[in-house]
Structure 1
Amino acid sequence: MLRILVFVLAAIAATGTTLSLLTSYRWYIRMWDFPRVALMVLAAIALVAAVPVLTGWVRAAVVVAMLLVIGWQGFRIYPYTPFAKTEVAKAVINRENCISAFSFNVLQTNRDYARTIQLIDREDPDIVLLLETDKLWEDALKPVIDRYPHRSSAPLDNLYGLILLSRLPVEDAEITWLIDKETPSVFATMQTKAGAQFRYIGLHPRPPQPGEDTEKRDGEIAIAARHAKETKLPVLAMGDFNDVAWSRTSQMFKRIGGYLDPRIGRGLYATFPANLPGLRWPLDHLFMSPDFTLVDMKVLENVGSDHLPVLAKVCLAPRAAKVLNDEPATPDAADHKDMREAIRDGKQAAREEGTASGGSPPPP
C-alpha cells in the first residue's frame, strides 16, 4: 500500500512539473502553473518515503526524479522568497505622494457582506478594487461606496463584476471589455494628494478550467501590458489575474509593461485558496512601474471569500525610486512575439465563442 502511495505522489509531482513546461493554451496544461509549492511538497514526501519503501533501480529512479522536481519548482519559486534580492525598495518619500490600495475578490456567492465592510472600514484605503461583485454586493456595500467620491461599477451576476473606488482625484476612469464581453477591466488616471498623476489598471480575466482554455485570459493580460508600455505615466496594476506571478504570461506582462514586483525577495503573498493556508498560490497581484517605492504590502485575513484581500502602501517618487529600485527587465523579441500572439489568439477565441467585445483600453 505504501509503495502505491509513493508511486502516486511521484507520478503527480513528475507529471504536473512536466506539463508545466509545455507552451499551450489548454486548461489542463496551464493549470499546472499554479500549484508549484504543492508539487514540491508532494515530491518531497515521495522522496522521503521512497528511500525506506522502494529498492534497487526503482528507488534510484524515483529519488532522482523527485530531486529534479524539487530543484525545478524551487528554482521557479525562489524569487518569491526572502532569500532572493528585492527589486522594489522600501522607502517613504513625501507622504503626500503615498497611496494605499486594496484589492479583493469577494466571491460573488459569499453573502457575509459585513466582514468585508468592516475590513475596508478598518484599513481605510485610498483605492478599493472589488471583484466578483453583483448587484447584491453593490447594494450591500453602499455605505462604503458612498464614502468615496470617485466610483466606477459594473455589477454582474457571472462572477466577473467589479467596483473601483477612489478618494484620490480621478481625471478619467473607464470600465472596458478588452476581449470578452463578459469580463470587464478598469483603467483610470488618478492623482496623489500632492497632484502627481499615475495610471491605475484593474484586471480580472477568466481562469483555466474545464471548458475554458487561456487564450482570452492571456490576451487581456497582454493588452494591459501593452497599455502600460505605451503610457507616459507611472502605472499601478492590481487584481485577480487568475494567473500566478511566475507563469510565462505574467512574466511577459511584467517585462513588456516595464513593471517591478514588490513580492520578489519578500514572499509569495499567496491569496488562493483562502482555506488552504499551506497550499495557496499568488493569484491576486500588485505590479508597479519603477516610479514607486514600497511602504508596506500584506495579505489580510479571511473574510469569507475563497481569496484573501491584498493591501499595499506605495509612494510615487520617480527620481528617488529610479535610484533605489532595480531596473525593470528588458523585454526581448520573444516577449513581443508572445504579446502579439496572445492578443491575436485571445480575440480569435472570443470570436469563435461568440463573446468578442470589440473593446480596447482607453488611450494611454
Structure 2
Amino acid sequence: MLKKLKLDSRLLKELDFGILIISIIILAFGMLNIYLASGISNITRQIAWIGISLGVVYVLILIDYSLIKNAVPVFYWATVASLIFTRYFGVVVNGARGWLRFGPLSVQPAEFAKLAIILMVAKKLDDMDGNINDVKNFLILAIYAGIPMLIIVLQPDMGLTMICFFIVLGMFFVAGLDMKVIVGGFMSIITLVAIVWNSPLMQPHWKKRLLSFISPGADELGIGLQLKQSMIGIGSGGVYGIGPTTGSYVSQFVPESQTDFIYAIIGEHWGIIGGIFLLLLYGIILYRVINIGNSSKDVFGSMICAGFISTWIFSILQNIGMTIGLMPITGITLPFISYGGSAVLTNYMALALVLNVGMRRKKINF
C-alpha cells in the first residue's frame, strides 16, 4: 500500500521542480500581502487550504494523467451538479449565490468549474484527434463548455463566467479553430451583452461597474470609489513601496483588499519593483508550461496546458488591470496571491495536472 503512495524516482527526475518552487514563492508572497491587508486571522485559514492543496498535488502527480482522462466525465458532471445545487441552496456572498459551507470551510464550486471545463474540452479534443473545425465537433465542444458557464451566469457571477469564456477561447485558439469563428464569437458576445443590457440577467452592479469603467469620473463617490482608492494606494507606493508596514491606506480604505484588490496592496507596499518581480515569476511559470504543452505526447496533455495558460493570463491581466483602471472591476482573484481557499486548491490542481503531463511526456521503461 505504501509503495503505491511513493513516486517512482525515474518519474521524479522528470518533475519540473522550477514550476513548483516558483509557485510556492508566489504563494508565500501572497501570504505576506494577505497579512498586510487583513491581519493574521485570514492567514490561518489560508494555511489550512495550502496544506490540503499540496496533498492533492502529490496524489494527482502519482496517477498517470492518461488514466485521469477516464474519470473526466464523472468530475465534469459532478461539478455541474454541484453548481445546480449551489444555485438553489448555496450561500449568498457579494450578491452571488455561489458558495457552499461545510462548518468553518466555504467552497466555491464555480472555481472547480474552470478545471472541469479545461479537462472536458481537452478530453473531447483528444477523442476528436484535435479536429476542432468540423462543425459537429465544434458544437459538441461548445455545448460542454457552455453548460457550466450558463449556470455560473445565473448565480450570478460575471467574473468567473468571463474566466471560463477566455479559457475556452484560449484552448480553441491553440487547437487551431478558424479565426473567422473566433471573431464571430467575440461579435456574438458583444451582441449578447447589448441584448441582455436591460434584461433581468444584467445585474445592476454589473451595469454600474461597466459604466464606471467607461466613464471613471461619473461616480467617484459611489461605484468608482473602490478604484479611486486603489489607484491612490498604488500611486503612493511609487517605485519601491512603503515596505511591510501594517495599517496602510489600502488595507483601511479599499474593500476586498485581501482578495480582488490584493494587487493594490502589492503596489502600495512593494511599489513598481514588487509588481515587476511578481510578473517575472508569473512569466517564468507560463514559459515553462508552454514548453511542457509543446512537448506533450498527446492532444489531451497539450490542451490541459493551454487551459492553464489561458486561465492565468486572463486572471492576471484582468485582476491587475481593474486595480489601475484599465479593465472593468470584477470578482477575479490573482492566482496564488489572493485570499481564497477554493482558488488556491483549483490552481494547484491545475498545476499538478500540468506537472503530470511534463513528467510523462517521455516513455519510461519500468
Aligning the two structures, in what range does the TM-score lie when normalised by the shorter sequence? Answer: under 0.3
Q: Which has the higher helix share?
A: 2
TM-score relative to the length of structure 1? 0.28
Q: TM-score, normalization: structure 2?
A: 0.28
Q: Point out which structure has higher relative CO (alpha carbons under 8 A, 6+ apart).
A: 2
